[in-house]
Amino acid sequence: FRSATKQNLFKDPTFPASDTSLFFNYSTPLSQFRGEISWLRPQEICSAPRLFSDNPQEVQVKQGILGDCWFLCACVALQKSKYLLTKVIPPGQPSWTDETYTGCFTCQVWQFGHWVEVTIDDRLPCLGGKLCFSQCQTEDVFWLPLLEKVYAKVHGSYEQLWAGQVADALVDLTGGLAERWTLKDPGRSMERERTGRVLEKMIFRRLMNLKERCVISCSVLSSRQGASELGEFHAFIVSDMLHLSRVLGKEIILLRIRNPWGRRCWKGHWREGGQGWSQLDPVVASELLSQIQEGEFWVEEEEFFKEFDEITIGFPVTEDGELQSLYTGTLLQGDYS
């Protein structure tokens, strides 16, 4: 199958498998891989590639050597909404096991007020025969690296995806709205800081009720004691919030955070083996630690607001393609389909 059709597979002349598609001005750490990256199609990377897993919602997205965590956080919106997933990646396209497969895929991205079709070939950047940018933790699933290539084409190159705002990617992938607010304001007085923090916590707790329907992301803008990642910016996914009782009876709120880099980077009190877990019943603590997957960690709410700089949340989109208010749940006027 491979040898018979390889010569006839689509090669995108507008986004070729070359350095012009990888680099913009060689100004990011990606430039150190110049000359080392090869381009392979999914069937050259694994024996049985597929576009989606049986349950796309359960597959973790994982960042590679490209600094586009902001984009990957937004991709989680597609896992939460069947409507958005089929809108961005239209179903029915021939893939690797189909006789009509031609080596190309078409996605839709929201640009300047409407959905724009973007077609790519399926040659993907690799190092040592493996994907070097984004991938699903289930390595034979390829919707994520293909969508990342579409987004790189829209921006002109992969390098131009290095560092960005989660809110921008959320708008591009949902056709909706996103809200971002800062948790740090150097100009606020101590009293205003305390008052503002109480209000922020109240709003955030309410918005966490939407966690199953929209993306909630948090960001670190500079190196911190807690989240020590390389570089000055990194975005994370907030996936859960739990209200628990301490051993001494006082309530504690824990947040479940996912790092797109796929490794646990947290060094705070609630890291694995941290002293925070002694505040909970040992059975509860053991259960919570057993739940986390690769790249996930728990953070206490007070620690969260101290260590993270920004929160971004995408407005929910119904399965009918209608945008909802974050705060009231009412449908917002306008055509987002």
First to last CA, the chain: 38
259 in Cβ contact with 295 (< 8 Å): yes
DSSP codes of every residue in 275-319:
GGGGGS-HHHHHHHHHH--TTEEEEEHHHHHHH--EEEEEPPB-T
Question: Is 114 part of the annotated catalytic residue set?
Answer: no
- Catalytic: 46? no
Of 73, 136, 234, 265, which residue is the catalytic one?
234
Angle at 118 between CA 134 and CA 85, to 5 degrees: 60
Catalytic position from the list 107, 218, 259, 265: 259
Catalytic residue, candidates 69, 73, 75, 107:
69
Q: Is 94 helix (H, G, I), strand (E, B) or coil?
A: coil
Active site residue 234: yes
Q: Tell me how far CA of residue 104 lies from CA of 87, 107, 147, in angstroms.
A: 17, 10, 12
Nearest to 270, CA basis, from 256, 282, 259, 283? 256
| 145: number of Cβ within 10 Å | 22
Dist CA 316 CA 323 (whole Å): 6
Q: What sign for the dihedral angle of Cα 310, 291, 317, 76?
A: positive
Catalytically active residues are 69, 234, 259
